[in-house]
Structures are given as structure tokens and as C-alpha cells.
């Protein structure tokens, strides 16, 4: 069953604006990861945040994690047309066999 | 420079005709995964190999099998494809289960 749920399902913004995507999950996690998928391509890992971390940055990406609310957000600042893609959060379950469970994703469109 | 390579990118097979998808990696990673992704859905884990140890997901149909003859190669065999098996099949690798995954560009499977 799905662990992560992204919100919104689709987001359309203008180049230069910031994009925020949210992810909620249900059970305890080891870490939470964000991936990008361009149309017809494989997924590309963006950033990993551990369960004991609250915020992480990588270039124009900022990820937050609130384990008490079981939620995470991905912020892309100063978006570019090349950021157009689907973004997935994925949670690594804890205990027993670790596996990555993906949410349904947010489809981001950045208009030039 | 490609690190996880999937062949072919597009595969067409007939209903009930066995098909094999292949994946190779140059990363020397311990873990190789196979995911099924249907249109606008999250990738769904079918199974993974940790070295030679095979780990099947409980809800993966018996129709799906996998082989990993060596570290570099992993195959997905669909014994009797049904129309519902039409999807993108993604191969991924990671050095450890808790580490980020590196994906190939997938094989899009169509069933006639």
C-alpha cells in the first residue's frame, strides 16, 4: 500500500517563482527521499533527509521533515522551465526489511 | 556515462508470449531493484536482489520472475504477459538498502 501522498497532484507556475510540494506519510521511517522524473525517463534522486534531521538544502532545493506530523515539503526556488517534471517523495520504512515506498507524485509545470 | 542501462527502451509483445527485460549497471552496487510504473502512478516495487539474495514483494504476481546471474546484470521475466502488465518497468540500484537509488530510463512494455 502507498506510504506517501503528495500534494498538490499538479502545479503550474511561471519561471522564477518558487514551487512547494508537500508529502505526508503514515508509518515510522528511516529516511525520506525526493526524486524527479522527466517524462518518459527514469527517476533521479534529488535529496535524502534522515528521520533525525529537520531541514536540508541542496542548491535551489530545500527539504523539511516534521516527523511529529509525518510530513515533508520540497521547495524549489527560482524555478526554471527545465524543472518541469514529476516529483515523488519516497519513504524508507523502518524495521524488518527496508524498502522505498513512493507516493503518487506532483506534476510540476514551469512556464517560460 | 550511463550507469544503469535498460534494454530495450520499448518492447512490444503478444498476449501470453514470454518476455525478458534486461538491466545492467556499472556502479558495482549490491542491490538491484525492479519497479512497475503505470501511467501517472507511483513506481511499485516488484522485487529486489541484495547480492544473490532474492526478495519478492508479497503482492508481486507469480507471473513475474527475476534472475541476477552476476553483480552487473539483472533480468525481469514475465512468463505470460496479460494486458494489465503493460507499463514502464524501471530498474534501480543502490549500494545499500538505506542509500539513494539510481534508476535506468526504463523499458516501456506494450502488450498486443
When pLDDT is cut at 50, 70 and 90, the band that residue A3 belongs to is low
Q: Across the interface, do B45 and A42 touch by the CB < 8 Å criterion?
A: no
- Tens digit of each residue's pLDDT (9 = 90 or more) over A22-69: 999 998 899 999 999 999 999 999 999 999 999 999 999 999 999 999
A47 backbone dihedrals φ, ψ, rounded to 5°: -160, 145
When pLDDT is cut at 50, 70 and 90, the band that residue A1 belongs to is very low
When pLDDT is cut at 50, 70 and 90, the band that residue A105 belongs to is very high
Nearest to B42 among A92, A98, A104 (CB): A104
pLDDT at A2 over 70: no
Cis ω on the peptide bond leading into residue B8 (within 30° of 0)? yes
User: Is B32 touching A (CB cutoff 8 A)?
Assistant: no
A-chain residues near B97 (CB < 8 A): 92, 97-99
Coil, strand or helix at B85 = helix
A-chain residues near B44 (CB < 8 A): 102
- Please tell me the predicted confidence (pLDDT) of residue B2: 61
B-chain residues near A40 (CB < 8 A): 105-106, 108
User: Is A58 touching B (CB cutoff 8 A)?
Assistant: no
The contacts of residue A90 (CB under 8 Å, 6+ apart) are: A4, A32, A33, A34, A35, A100, A101, A102, A103
**CA geometry: angle A57, B91, B12, nearest 5 deg:** 135
> Contact, A90 vs A103, CB < 8 A?
yes
Min distance A14 CA to chain B CA atoms (Å) = 23
In angstroms, the CA A69 to CA A67 distance is 5
Nearest to B100 among A33, A40, A101 (CB): A33
Min distance B69 CA to chain A CA atoms (Å) = 22
- Please tell me the predicted confidence (pLDDT) of residue A7: 83
User: Is B55 touching A (CB cutoff 8 A)?
Assistant: yes
Q: Which of A102, A111, A110, A112 is nearest to A6 (CA)?
A: A102
**A10 to chain B: nearest residue by CA?**
B40
**Successive 10-residue mean pLDDT values, chain B, 112 residues:** 88 96 97 95 95 94 96 97 96 94 97 94
Query: Which of A94 and A47 is assigned the larger pLDDT?
Result: A47
- Please tell me the predicted confidence (pLDDT) of residue A23: 94
Amino acid at each position: 500500500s502507498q506510504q506517501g501522498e503528495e500534494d498538490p497532484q499538479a502545479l503550474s507556475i511561471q519561471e522564477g517563482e518558487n514551487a512547494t510540494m508537500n508529502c505526508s506519510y503514515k508509518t515510522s521511517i528511516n529516511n525520506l527521499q525526493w526524486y524527479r522524473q522527466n517524462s518518459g525517463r527514469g527517476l533521479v534522486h534529488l535529496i535524502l533527509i534522515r528521520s533525525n534531521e529537520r531541514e536540508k538544502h541542496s542548491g535551489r532545493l530545500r527539504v523539511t521533515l516534521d516527523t511529529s506530523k509525518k510530513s515533508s515539503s520540497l521547495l524549489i526556488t527560482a524555478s526554471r522551465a527545465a524543472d518541469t517534471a514529476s516529483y515523488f517523495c519516497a519513504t524508507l520504512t523502518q524495521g524488518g526489511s527496508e524498502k522505498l515506498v513512493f507516493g503518487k507524485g506532483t506534476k510540476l509545470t514551469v512556464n517560460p | 556515462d550511463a550507469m544503469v542501462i535498460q534494454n530495450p527502451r520499448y518492447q512490444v509483445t503478444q498476449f501470453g508470449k514470454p518476455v525478458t527485460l534486461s538491466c545492467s549497471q556499472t556502479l558495482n552496487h549490491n542491490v538491484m531493484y525492479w519497479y512497475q510504473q503505470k501511467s501517472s502512478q507511483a513506481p511499485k516495487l516488484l522485487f529486489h536482489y541484495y547480492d544473490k539474495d532474492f526478495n519478492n514483494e508479497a503482492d508481486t504476481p507469480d507471473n513475474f520472475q527475476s534472475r541476477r546471474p552476476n553483480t552487473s546484470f539483472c533480468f525481469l521475466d514475465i512468463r505470460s504477459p496479460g494486458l494489465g502488465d503493460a507499463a514502464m518497468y524501471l530498474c534501480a540500484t543502490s549500494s545499500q538498502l538505506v542509500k539513494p537509488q539510481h534508476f535506468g530510463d526504463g523499458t516501456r512494455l506494450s502488450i498486443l
